Amino acid sequence: MQDLEVSFKSAFWQPAVSVKRPFVRYPNKEASPGYAWRYSSENNQINLSVVIPTSDAYRGGYFLKLLSQIGCQDYSNFELIVVRGDPRQGRAINTGASLAQGIYLLTLDDDTSLPDTKTFSKLVAVMEVHPEIGIGGGNNIIPSDASPFVRRVMQQIPRRSWLAVQTITDSDLAEHPCMIMRKNEFEAMGGENELIPRGLDPYLRQEFRKLGKRVVVVPGVSYHHLPPDSLNKLLKQSFRNGRQAAYVNRNYPQWVIETPNKHGTFVLRRTLWLRIPRYPLRLISTLVTGRWMWFIYQIFYASGFVFFWLTNIWKSPTNRG
C-alpha cells in the first residue's frame, strides 16, 4: 500500500450518518457529524479491516505518522477505514465495522504508533490458531525516541505502558489503541456501547468474556499509545476524562467496571462509595513513590469528576441502559 498516503490526501469522505449499524445493542441516535473514508488495494482479498476513529485526522501529527506506518506493514490483505469527526468513539468504531469487509477487525487510536512492520501479520496469525481468543491486544511500550516528558508520563501513569509479555496472557490491558477481534463475534455481542463516552474498553472486554472468549495480550506485538506531548494538554485530557467518568457513573453505573494495572484476574466492580475513600490513599501512595505526573493527573481527573457532578446535581440521571 505504498500509495496509501497519496490516496488519503485525495480521499472522498462519506457522511457517517448514512452508514447503518443494525447490530448495535446500545445505539446513540443523535445525529453524527462524522465522515468515513475506506481504502483497500484492488488486487488483494481483504482479510483484515483496520478501523481508526479520529477527531481531525491529524492529532498533532501522530495520525499522519501512523498512516505511514500502516503503509509499511508486511501484511497486504487489509483495508483501512477512518471515521473522522464523531465525538462518540464507540459509534465511530461501529460505523467502521459496518463498512468493514474483513474477517477480523483491528482498532487503532489516532495517536497509536506501530514500530513493527509485522504487527498486523502477528495479530492475525494468533487469531487464526486460537479460536478461543475474542480480543487480542498488543504490548504498549515506551518508544526509544520518546521525549523526557512523554517517557515520564508513560512510566508513571498506570496503563500507559507495561513490560511486554512472553506468552499469550489473559489480561485486561488489551485496549482499543491496538487490538484485534473477529467481526462476526463483535457484531454478535452488540458492538461498541455508543451511549457511554468513557469506559468503552472495559465494557467491550466484559461482553466478550460473557461469550466465553478470552481477552489476551499477545507476545511479540508492541505498539506505542502516546500521551499528549505537553503538561497543559495532558491535564486538559485528564480533566475531560474525569468529567466523562462522572457522566457514566451518574447515568450508567451498571457499566462502570474496574480497570486493573496488571495482567490476570481482578474484581469486576466496586461501588462509587467504596472507590471514593480509596482516592486519598492512592494520592498518598503516589507521593510516597515520587510519581508526580500520576499525582497531578489524578488531581485534575478528580476535578473534572467533581465539576460534572456539581454542575449536574439537580438534573435527573438518564440511566437509559
pLDDT tens-place string over residues 300-319: 999 999 999 999 887 777 65
Yes or no: say if 61 and 229 are a contact pair by the CB < 8 Å rule.
no
The enclosing H or E element of 204 equals: helix 200-210
pLDDT higher at 165 or 1: 165
Residue-level pLDDT at 207: 95
- Asked if residue 181 has pLDDT above 60, the reply is yes
Distance CA 132, CA 82 (A): 28
Q: Domains of the chain by range and CATH?
A: 4-232 (3.90.550.10)
Using CA atoms of 195, 304, 283, 276 in order, give the dihedral in degrees to the nearest 10.
-60
Chain length of the chain: 321
> pLDDT tens across 14-52, in order?
898 889 999 999 999 887 779 999 988 766 689 999 999
Residue 32 three-state SS: coil
Q: Are 226 and 151 in contact (CB under 8 A)?
A: no
Strand segments, DSSP code E, in the chain are 14-15, 35-40, 48-54, 78-84, 104-108, 112-113, 133-140, 169-170, 178-182, 214-225
Contact (Cβ atoms closer than 8 angstroms) between residue 215 and residue 172: yes
Q: How distant is the alpha carbon of residue 200 from its chain centre? A: 7
Comparing 142 with 265, which gets the higher pLDDT? 142
DSSP state of 163: P
Candidate from 175-179, 255-259, 312-316 with smallest mean pLDDT: 312-316
Query: Would you state the pLDDT for residue 205?
Result: 96
Residue 112 to residues 107, 153, 230, 270: CA-CA distances in angstroms?
10, 15, 17, 30
* 102-116 exposure pattern, b = at least 16 Cβ within 10 A, e = fewer: bbbbbbbbbbbbbeb
pLDDT at residue 274 above 90? no
Calculate the average pLDDT of the chain. 91
> What is the rounded CA–CA span in Å between residue 211 and residue 144?
38
- CA end-to-end span of the chain: 41
Least confident of 141-155, 211-225, 256-270: 256-270
Question: Average pLDDT of 222-251?
Answer: 95
Separation between Cα atoms, residue 60 and residue 47, nearest integer Å: 30
Which of 280, 248, 257, 171 lies closest to 217 in space, CA to CA? 171
Residue 298 has pLDDT above 60, yes or no: yes
What is residue 104's predicted lDDT score, i.e. its pLDDT? 98
